[in-house]
Homo-oligomer: A and B are copies of this chain.
């Protein structure tokens, strides 16, 4: 039997633990796996493109566990009342090749992206950072805000979205969680005086959310929204002034902000900084940039953490998805045996 974490299961697991503590735990797994970087199979996403979107598989393995995520990207979906991005994933045992857990990953991806951003900012932002601008107040924004509060102590948020309704939604959702929230009417207003800028906009285009004159010295930029070819958020001049950190260079050069730069433009690898083998920011005046696109190892960390939480809480179902004849050579015999229990899917709670 394979464990199955449904949408309701994951919501209950996160509610049960509290999102703050869940993000803390998840961040520790993300950090731990970045420190074991060389153990992982690393390949670019396996993408299937169509006129309206893309479907991708993101596999990786540390030699003990194997994971993959299925994720789509369909910008036109929102207009049809559907999610732009949906995802699910699998954790398997490398020794037997058997699946261990299937899970929804739309919610889990938002959590892991936020945890990873905060893990990066912890080693890249100026010590003592307290304030953050958030440009783009959509589906990812609450997760980012809470992760930065939990892991870095960011309490002052300056919010901007081209749609004021998105900002209203974000302020409503963060109400009562200990933030000082300021709604702004432009990106320029949002970035005034902050320590960190998070850009997390959704349009699939080469946008210019941040221009050079908006970015003062000493800032850390957490660039989340530029994550596929043809989708960037920062003006090239911002990149040229920043010390750039990435997850996996071959993927980021295709998908990240640095697709605007030459293929051999020097970038720094986040895992080396987390492991203490490379320097993060060089001084308090430097601009640091985390050019985040989301990498398979982060999904691995998320599935590994979720599996541990599911086992600890019992909040999962089980799926009968692996045929298991008594005699492995007699698969056919299953067809001639008496029918098993009708309810193939059992509630594991």
Residues of chain A at the chain B interface (Cβ within 8 Å): 4, 6-9, 11-12, 14-15, 19, 41, 43, 46, 48, 50, 52-55, 57, 59-61, 63, 66, 68, 70, 72-74, 77-78, 80-84, 86, 88, 90, 92, 94-99, 102-104, 106-107, 110, 138-143, 166, 169, 173, 317, 319-325, 327-336, 339-345, 347, 349
> Taking A322-B86, A328-B139 as contacts, is the C-beta distance between A59 and B61 under 8 angstroms?
no
Interface centre among A15, A60, A345 (most CB of B within 10 A): A345
Copy count, this protein chain: 2
Q: Contact: B48 with A61, CB < 8 Å?
A: yes
State in angstroms the CA–CA spacing of A126 and B84 once bound together.
Answer: 53
Q: Contact: A328 with B77, CB < 8 Å?
A: yes
Q: Contact: A347 with B349, CB < 8 Å?
A: no
Q: Contact: B138 with A4, CB < 8 Å?
A: no
Shortest Cβ-Cβ A-B pairs, 6 listed = A72-B97, A6-B344, A142-B332, A106-B323, A139-B331, A8-B344
State in angstroms the CA–CA spacing of A8 and B8 once bound together.
Answer: 24
Q: Closest residue to A63 on the B side, CB-wise? A: B50
Q: Contact: A320 with B11, CB < 8 Å?
A: no
Q: Contact: A106 with B322, CB < 8 Å?
A: yes
Q: Which residues of chain B are within 8 angstroms of A68 by Cβ–Cβ distance? A: 57, 70
Which of B9, B74, B345 lies in contact with A96, CB distance below 8 A?
A: B74
> Taking A7-B322, A139-B330, A169-B330 as contacts, is the C-beta distance between A98 and B70 under 8 angstroms?
no
State in angstroms the CA–CA spacing of A86 and B81 once bound together.
Answer: 36
Q: Which residues of chain B are within 8 angstroms of A78 by Cβ–Cβ distance? A: 328-329
Q: Closest residue to A320 on the B side, CB-wise? A: B6
State in angstroms the CA–CA spacing of A48 and B94 once bound together.
Answer: 9
CB distance from A135 to the nearest CB of B (A): 15
Q: Contact: A335 with B19, CB < 8 Å?
A: yes
Q: Contact: A344 with B317, CB < 8 Å?
A: yes
Q: Contact: A55 with B50, CB < 8 Å?
A: no
CB distance from A36 to the nearest CB of B (A): 16
> Taking A73-B97, A323-B106, A328-B81 as contacts, is the C-beta distance between A48 and B55 under 8 angstroms?
no
Q: Which residues of chain B are within 8 angstroms of A55 by Cβ–Cβ distance? A: 59, 61, 66, 92, 94, 97
CB distance from A241 to the nearest CB of B (A): 31
> Taking A6-B345, A86-B97, A323-B107 as contacts, is the C-beta distance between A143 and B59 under 8 angstroms?
no
CB distance from A248 to the nearest CB of B (A): 16
Q: Contact: B88 with A321, CB < 8 Å?
A: yes
Q: Contact: A323 with B77, CB < 8 Å?
A: no
State in angstroms the CA–CA spacing of A329 and B336 once bound together.
Answer: 50
Q: Contact: B321 with A104, CB < 8 Å?
A: yes
Q: Contact: A7 with B110, CB < 8 Å?
A: no
